[in-house]
Chains A and B, each alone.
Chain A
Amino acid sequence: MSSNAFTIPGVQIDEKSWVDTLHEWVTTVDHKRLGVLYILYALLFLVVAGVEALIIRIQLMFPHSHFVSPQVFNRLFTMHGTTMVFFMGMPILFGFANYLVPLMIGARDMAFPRLNAFSFWLSALGGFLLYFSLVGANGLYGAGNAPDVGWWAYAPLTARAFSPGHSTDYWTLALLVSGFGSIGTAINIIATILCMRCPGMKLSRMPLLAWLNLVMAGMVLLAVSPLTAAQMMLLIDRYLGGHFFDTQAGGSAMLWMHFFWIFGHPEVYVLIIPCFAFMSEIIPVFSRKPIFGYPVMVAATVCIGFVSMSVWAHHMFSVGMNSYANSFFTITTMAVGVPTGIKIFNWLGTMWGGRIQFKVPMLFCIAFLFQFLIAGLTGVMLGSAAFASQLTLSYFVVAHFHYTLVGGVVFGVFAAIYYWYPKITGRMLNETLGKVHFWLFLIGFHLTFDLMHIPGLLGMPRRIYTYEPDRGWDILNLLISVGGFIQAIAVVIFVANLIVSYFKGKKAGNDPWDAWTLEWATSSPPPAYNFASIPLVASRRPLWDLKHPEDPDSRYE
């Protein structure tokens, strides 16, 4: 795709065979190609995990449904959660980081291109391992079973005695392997941002996307490692007779919970911070105003990074910790909402007084702002230990985290895809189809996840494969499922748009959105070497300076 930068007229260029193209893609160390591989890989798993979600929703559409058995239901929600977090969320965000960070800081590639490739293929192997369990693992109920222990895999359910066979092991190994890939990518991102910026790009002049990915990478180092440690401990328990989580030998199942959530909570911030980065790049461009309060945005993100490491036990409010622990984690959870709120104000401040263009990326961004705010509010509600002890393990929690993950991460990713697809492929996505996708997905999302709060408040527990008909949940579950199907239709339209526009979309040119960061200074798609000569920057908006030499930002910074 990006191997021919210039077409020299009159020169015969031999058509490459498909084997050669495949070989190029499989052996690539180019950050742009690896970025695309990550994104495509994640989009594939988005569809797979989405289908799993649809099956779950079909099962829950009517009380006493027999669409799937309870055993299959357990496997479905385990695989849905694990796939979405580890093989959709992480890869797609690493993919965007890989693609954009070197371009935005004026570098030719990441710091360690081969490590980059290695990390991608490790992550890919992890996804393969997880799904290989469908054929390769004997589970509790017989042959060929996916893991069925929930994506959080609480002990002692995961002990050999209670999860015989290998389905849990596939879960463990898949995450162990892709965890190493994540750590490798995080190291790469940090080294790239700190060591490969073009001349003049001080840290205070870096695009916010680079800053936020730096914070995200730091968090990955500190968050994924506890999961790696916990997985090693689980394997030791299952295969070497260890007793880490073996209550009969004095071990503690709660220790798994602590270790898992020490990973799990920062992980969700790892997922959302790159989406904050997308907001911080896209909203200014479509408001025709620079981001409001750049230094505060950086400071708030760093704060989020630190504070989010201290809130993990708000996932454990109902397991019987003492009141000092509950109070401490309530306070820290309340605190972590403050810097995020600051960022929302700054995005609104960016839009205020701007000349807003309601192109498709901006539509997704505006939806993100509303939805993430509401999700944050339900999060603050759940952050209070007293309130959470009533609503834990109910659909209120499911509604909250889907609001952040779908309303936040998925909307953010859609915005990013519509915004950067022209750069990556050289063609614009169809604006009409994009708007159809947006509105359908918005309606489906809100139908599903707004309503989902209500069964939670009415007492519907999580992780149940069916329910009684006289609880008042019936019509709500039916509508929630309908919303799921509307979202599915929207995603089909989106995928169609991606494919058709690749071949028939309007040619994009270097800078279709009239934006200001360095990736728009090079061709679409960029040549393999990114920039003909390494750029030299003097402000936060180098392209503004180029296009408006009479009024450069460098005069004011």
Chain B
Amino acid sequence: MSAMANSFPQAPATWRLPDRGKVAMASLIIAESAIFTIFVVAYLFYVGKSLTGPTPRELLETPIFYTICLLSSSLTIHFAAKSLTRDRVGAFLGLWVLTIVLGATFMYGTAQEWHRLIYEHGFTISTNLFGTTYYSLVGLHAFHVTAGLLMLLIVAIFGLLGRVGVQHSHRVEVLSMYWHFVDAVWVIVFTVVYVLGR
């Protein structure tokens, strides 16, 4: 094998390939986007097609505050990851925990909305087409937020135990890519459900 090096022209001066974590997360995001696209298509296809039951206009209240929470959490996680690359672990930890709090607030908002819909209006996934597509789409998104929060929490725990340093910054960046994805999906879900769908 070492003979190989001799019979060739010079080795490339630099040989830098993309970071595997980022490529893998980008691939996962592509796959997840395809799944969400199908649910969004189903939602849009069935807008206005329910045969019975409550309409979006009657039931939905635009969750502006909780949306702002989730979108700000993208900002905080961005700065958290930035801080870690600059070895400012204190700032990283603070911003990271703030991200989790904002994300959890968003989840609380969704839970509150669903509680109102189910218990005050008797509106469930089996009520009509709007119910099926609404709960599936928003539910799938909420599931992804929950998974993200769990991962963020694990990192936060390690961070609070003092085990996270600048050498982990690329992994934290990979996680923040996922969180940005979850946010972007919410922008689309919000537009489709609360703006277009009504």
Interface residues of A (CB under 8 A from B): 111-112, 183, 186-188, 190-192, 194-197, 199-200, 217-218, 221-226, 228-230, 232-233, 236-237, 240-244, 249-252, 255, 259, 262, 521, 531-533, 535-538, 542, 545-546, 549, 552, 554
Contact = CB atoms under 8 A, between A and B. Distances in A.
B126 A240 contact: yes
B9 A538 contact: yes
A224 B34 CA distance: 9
B125 A236 contact: yes
A233 B139 CA distance: 12
Given A222-B30, A229-B38, A252-B45, A552 B129 contact: no
Nearest to A112: B24
Interface in B1-59: 1-5, 7-9, 11-12, 15, 17-20, 23-24, 27-28, 30-32, 34-35, 37-39, 42, 45-46, 49-52
Given A200-B8, A249-B128, 9 more contacts: A111-B24, A195-B19, A200-B12, A200-B15, A222-B34, A243-B126, A250-B50, A532-B1, A535-B4
B136 A536 contact: no
A517 to B, nearest CB: 14
A533 B20 contact: no
B183 to A, nearest CB: 20
A255 B45 contact: yes
A194 B124 CA distance: 45
B129 A243 contact: yes
A221 B28 CA distance: 8
A250 B31 contact: no
Given A187-B28, A200-B15, A533 B34 contact: no
B42 A241 contact: no
Nearest to A186: B27
Given A221-B31, A535-B4, A190 B23 contact: yes
Contacts of B18: 194-195
A137 to B, nearest CB: 24
Interface string B119-139: 000001110110111001000
A319 B24 CA distance: 39
Contacts of A233: 39, 42, 136
B27 A225 contact: no
11 contacts: A183-B28, A191-B23, A199-B11, A199-B12, A229-B35, A236-B125, A236-B132, A241-B124, A242-B126, A536-B5, A536-B8
Interface of B: 1-5, 7-9, 11-12, 15, 17-20, 23-24, 27-28, 30-32, 34-35, 37-39, 42, 45-46, 49-52, 124-126, 128-129, 131-133, 136, 140
A236 B7 contact: no
B42 A255 contact: yes
A240 B34 contact: no
Nearest to A555: B9
Given A187-B27, A242-B136, A249 B17 contact: no
B31 A536 contact: no
Query: When A and B form their complex, which 7 residue pairs have the shortest distance between CB atoms, in order from nearest?
Result: A241-B126, A225-B34, A229-B38, A195-B20, A242-B132, A221-B31, A199-B15
Contact of B129 (A183, A250, A531): A250
Given A196-B17, A546-B7, A183 B31 contact: yes
A276 B21 CA distance: 29
A538 B11 CA distance: 8
B1 A191 contact: no
A194 B24 CA distance: 10
A256 to B, nearest CB: 10
A251 B4 contact: no
Nearest to B45: A255
- Interface of B (DSSP majority class): helix
B42 A244 contact: yes
Contacts of A230: 38
A225 B24 contact: no
The listed residue with most A CB atoms (<10 A of its CB), out of B9, B12, B34, B126, is B34
A60 to B, nearest CB: 36
B12 A191 contact: no
A196 B34 contact: no
Nearest to A190: B27
A545 B7 contact: yes
Nearest to A222: B34
Nearest to A217: B27
A241 B9 contact: no
A111 B20 contact: yes
Contacts of B7: 545-546, 549, 552
A255 to B, nearest CB: 7
B125 A187 contact: no
B132 A259 contact: no
Given A190-B23, A240-B125, A554-B8, A546 B136 contact: no
A251 B128 CA distance: 9
A221 B35 CA distance: 10
Nearest to A221: B31
B49 A250 contact: yes
Nearest to B26: A190
A243 B132 contact: yes
B35 A226 contact: yes
Contacts of B140: 232
Contact of A228 (B35, B128, B136): B35
Nearest to B140: A232
Contacts of B15: 199-200
Contact of B23 (A195, A244, A536, A542): A195
Contacts of B1: 521, 531-533, 535
A549 B34 CA distance: 48
A30 B193 CA distance: 46
B129 to A, nearest CB: 5
Contact of B51 (A183, A196, A249): A249
A270 to B, nearest CB: 13
A536 B13 CA distance: 12
Contacts of A236: 125, 132, 136
A546 B37 CA distance: 49
B17 A224 contact: no
Contacts of A243: 126, 128-129, 131-132
Contact of A251 (B3, B12, B27, B129): B129
Contacts of A190: 23-24, 27
A232 B52 CA distance: 24
A250 B17 contact: no
